[in-house]
Structure 1
Amino acid sequence: MEVSSEFFSKGCTPWQRILLTASLLTCWLLSTTTSVTIESLPPKVVEGENVLLHVDNLPENLLVFAWYREVTSMKLVIGLYLPDYRTSVKGPEHSGREILYSNGSLWIQNVTREDTGYYTLRTKSKHGEIVSNTSVFLQVYSPLFICGRPTTLAPPTIELVPPSVPAGGSVLLLVHNLPEHLHSLFWYKGLVVFNKVEIARHRIAKNSNEPGPAHSGRETVYSNGSLLLQNVTWKDTGFYTLRTLNKYRKKELAHIYLQVDTSLSLCCDTLNSDQLTIDAVPQHAVEGGSVLLQVHNLPEDLQTFSWFKGVQCTHVFKIAEYSIATKAIITGRASSRRETAYTNGSLLLQDVTEKDSGLYTLVTTDSNLKVERAHVQVSVNKLATQPVLRVTDSTVRVQSSVVFTCFSDDIGISIRWLFNNKSLKLTERMTLSPSKCQLRIHTVRKRDAGEYQCEASNSVSSKISLPVSLSVVNE
């Protein structure tokens, strides 16, 4: 049954019993009853999912109950339900995706960001009394939602995969936390952003790449922002910069330092073995642990060295300095008092936090006043927390669809899906969201029944969710 918006906007006019009931809904007063509760299932909803606004403690012997958009406007009616007639009536705010159930719950299919907002349930007894008035706020997140935290909470970061690459090999500069509403992205060789050193750019709307002046023919830019370097040489050693631009003209920068390992060279293109280099030990540290920035090939006639947080070698960012003349190590303005510098050039970071992540620079000077610089990337992560897995419906019919969503409070994690304790093999009927935190199964079949889990992992640890069972029944 469907009723026009004109009907819902009128006052309390006398109609037949069903229509009279509907019109009375627009004249209700607020109730002080608080026994009715509403819960969103799942509690966090991503675009494209289905959501159930589940009602508990629905009063008995009701004449009618109705669902509204917002809290104050009683004209924004989604629909009402008449228990005695087991009939629902669609309102002007009904989009064709909502279903009202006899227990008071509201089912919304294929939600969009526009569905975000307040939803209000009102009930009226057969004695004409207002029984309850209860509201709930529904937040619908973007598909870029990273399993519990929006990507906008974290700036873009870059990871080297593999972390060490020999000359002649390939390395992926893997991007994490691309911003929402992305318009385009640009890759540059070096720290400075200007046209001459632009490697390539990617335009989101056209899904197209354009090579820049610094493109050597060995670079590939992907739509997820990552940059692949093939057949690297020692000349590829250095900084790489990612610049992102969203639809609102907001810009963000991220840097990574690539050190080509010539000791593992796959070809004859090698670099001087005496080059100043630094290794982070371990490469990926746990928050609260320690990281040793181990220096190799200090100049034999070393006179001074200085450590800096970041790439700007100024007093503001200096952690420590050493002079062979005084044989003294002096702490700098950027020292957190958790660093220890050694005369062999190495730097120990203790009790590290996520804020210690980033680039560190070592500057050395020899007796001929020759200056050398080396950089190292430090990565610090918290231990992964256990994710929570939700499913739109634990029992579905054959040929229907179902959505699983993996939620985590962690930033910068990767998601892996498991089915019956084994890694899930995706079929043509399964799709993952861009962040992989959402799994949708189309045209469900009997063989899809079983236990599903998701694993959230970062560079230092991983956790697996509790299993969620899916039952599949015949139509």
Structure 2
Amino acid sequence: MEVSSELCSKGCTPWQRLLLTASLLTCWLLPTTAQVTIESLPLKVVEGENVLLRVDNLPENLLGFAWYRGIKNLKQGISLYSLAYGTNVQGPTHSGRETLYSNGSLWIQNVTKEDTGYYTFRTISRRGEIISNTSLQLHVYSSLYICGGPYKPRQLTIESVPPHVAEGGSVLLLVHNLPPYLRSIFWYKGVIVFNKVEIVRFRRAKTSSELGPAHSGREIVYRNGSMLLQNVTWKDTGFYTLRTLNRYGSVELAHVYLQVDTSLSSCCDPLKSAPLTINPVPPHAAEGESVLLHVHSLPKHLQTFSWYKGVCSTQAFKIAEYNIATKSIIRGRAHRGRETGYTNGSLLLQNVTEEDMGLYTLVVIDSNFKIETAHVQVNVNKLATQPVLRVTHTTVRVQSSVVFSCFSDITGISIRWLFNNQRLQLTERMTLSPSKCQLRIHTVTREDAGDYQCEAFNPISSKTSLPVSLAVVTE
């Protein structure tokens, strides 16, 4: 009777109390049978993902079955299913994210680290006897793992679109690889984060913006983190910083340098020299390749120039310094032995890795001791490898559910889905996990039958998995 009251602590009808009392009035310490098995799909699940605890070899002639948290003290009921009535009874540990199916399987959505632990599945005969207790340990991984393989989130970056904008024009500071589970987005003018230079903050839950002291009335922030700057002037030239805050308190920063080309404006002096600029060649490189940071419009009467890793031009980040008079190159503390400087100011990065990603700064000094500074973003990616696609069942019934999981063994990869060699069009019956490596069809129809594939891609390469065929039956 105690177990019945625990499971019904959130409210049951009289017949549900009678059902639970009859079903659970027996000894808890019965031997576990090997007939019933439980499998976690996927085997490794990440915070924010979904997991299916699939039950196989379900006994016949059952009155019902139930899921519990734990392995010994089975008073923490999640959900009980009555086969006689085809209904669910939610237990005290039901979080609102669990769905119990008629085949015994338990679907848990948007898992958290708190979901880690043992889960026990119990079957009950028509005579109210416990047939089996089967337990499984579920481990919820942090964002270091994703869909069964190591995962390192792509670095938060910002792209200026277009790269150079004329006075009076508009520029979009386009954000890439925005972190998941965001709570707030902040934009600042400059590289230092403090209140006086805050442009705007955007709260995603409320879809609302709060203007900061540095807001000029020309900035618009979008839900994806990007910021549109309208009617730019030469005073807008410089660094902009994006700060993100997620619901777990994690903070990320990214910088972008905005170059306003006054030489492109009709009002400007045509005799004025073009600004110092840098182009990465190629814009996106594969690991192991070389990237040339090609400098344009170097001053004529150049005295020295220096390259730095990052946005700070200090000795700790100096890669190399070149003196025109002595024609000598002095290596800095940040030199890794793979950089080559040229007299035209350009810098060659050889055999690049993902650690070479980020902003680079060039500082030039002419014979009149005039200082010019330019910045460039370097992007490095791994070549995509063929992902592996798995599915909970290759044959499913109409109105049931099915889960596809895409496994990739490299970092910094994105996932998209294909159906019968075409881009999958998501419907209201389908959901993707936050990382998009897991696809669930909640209510299968005949139209869902066909070949499914997942494509792993990044800016330089893509690979598609072998197809997995899904058959849909009506019986």
Match of 2:219 in 1: 219
Report SS of the residue matched to 1:313.
coil
Encode CA deviations 1:210-247: one digit per residue, 9 max, x unaligned.
23343344432122322234565665443210122345
* Matched-pair contact (CA < 8 Å) for 2:184–2:202: yes
- Pairwise CA distance, 1:255: 1.3
Q: Secondary structure in 2 aligned to 1:97?
A: strand
SS in 2 for 1:466: coil
1:389-433, CA deviations, whole angstroms, 9 ceiling, x for partnerless residues? Answer: 444554445455555444444444333322211123345555555
Q: Find the partner of 2:29 among 27, 30, 38.
A: 27
287-296 or 159-168: bigger deviation: 159-168
Deviation, structure 1 residue 359: 1.0
2-structure distance, mates of 1:457, 1:342: 34
Give runs of aligned pairs for residues 41-60 of structure 1, distance below 5 A.
41-45=41-45, 49=50, 51-55=52-56
Does 2:174 match 1:176? no
Once the two structures are superposed, the pairs formed by residues 273-288 of structure 1 within 5 Å of their partners are 273-288=273-288
236-245 vs 309-318, greater mean Cα deviation: 236-245
Counterparts of 1:448 and 1:348, CA distance in 2: 51
Distance 1:141 1:331, change over 3 A: closer
Map 1:84-95 → 2, pairs under 5 A: 95=94
User: Is the 1:115–1:140 Cα contact (8 Å) retained in structure 2?
Assistant: no
- Cα shift at 1:112: 4.6
Structure 2 runs not aligned, ≥5 long: 9-19
- Aligned counterparts of 2:7 and 2:175: Cα–Cα separation in 1: 56
Cα distance, 1:53 vs structure 2: 2.7
Alpha-carbon displacement from aligned partner over 1:2-27 (angstroms, at most 9, x marks no partner) = x714699xxxxxxxxx9899555512
Matches of 1:374 and 1:382 in 2, distance apart?
Answer: 27
2:107 matched residue in structure 1:
108
Is there any run of 5+ residues in structure 1 with no aligned partner, and where? 9-17
Kindly indicate whether the alpha-carbon contact (under 8 Å) linking 1:304 and 1:321 is maintained by their aligned counterparts in 2: yes
Rounded Cα–Cα distance in structure 1 between residues aligned with 2:473 and 2:326: 80
Output the TM-score relative to the length of structure 2.
0.76
1:303 aligned residue: 303
Q: What are the Cα deviations for residues 48-107 of structure 1, in whole angstroms up to 9, with x where unaligned?
A: 846133448x999x9x99864223434446689999x9x999895685832474xxx633
Structure 1 residues 279 and 433: alpha-carbon distance in aligned structure 2, compared to 1, 3 A threshold = same
1:465 aligns with 2:465: yes
Whether contact under 8 Å (2:159, 2:173) holds in the other structure is yes
Amino acid at match of 1:268: S
Counterpart in the other structure of 1:448: 448
Query: What SS is found at the alignment partner of 2:28?
Result: helix
Contact 1:310 1:317 (C-alpha < 8 Å) held by counterparts: yes
Query: Are 1:349 and 2:349 matched, yes or no?
Result: yes
Aligned residue number for residue 266 of structure 2: 268
SS of residue paired to 1:355: helix
CA drift of 1:329 comes to 0.6
Q: Percent identity?
A: 60
How well do the aligned residues superpose, as a CA RMSD in angstroms? 4.6
Moved more, 433-442 or 307-316: 433-442
User: Compared with structure 1, are the counterparts of its residues 161 and 371 closer, same or farther at alpha carbon in structure 2 (3 Å cutoff)?
Assistant: closer
TM-score scaled by structure 1?
0.76
Cα distance in 2 for residues equivalent to 1:318 and 1:139: 42
Alignment match, 2:254 = 254
3-state SS of paired residue (1:27): coil
- Return closer, same or farther for 1:52/1:288 CA change in 2, 3 Å cut-off: same
Answer whether contact 1:45 1:51 (CA < 8 A) is retained. Answer: no
Partner of 1:374: 374
- With 198-207 and 333-342 compared, the bigger mean Cα shift is at 198-207
Shift of 1:323: 1.2
Q: For 2:139 and 2:387, how far apart are their aligned partners in 1?
A: 21
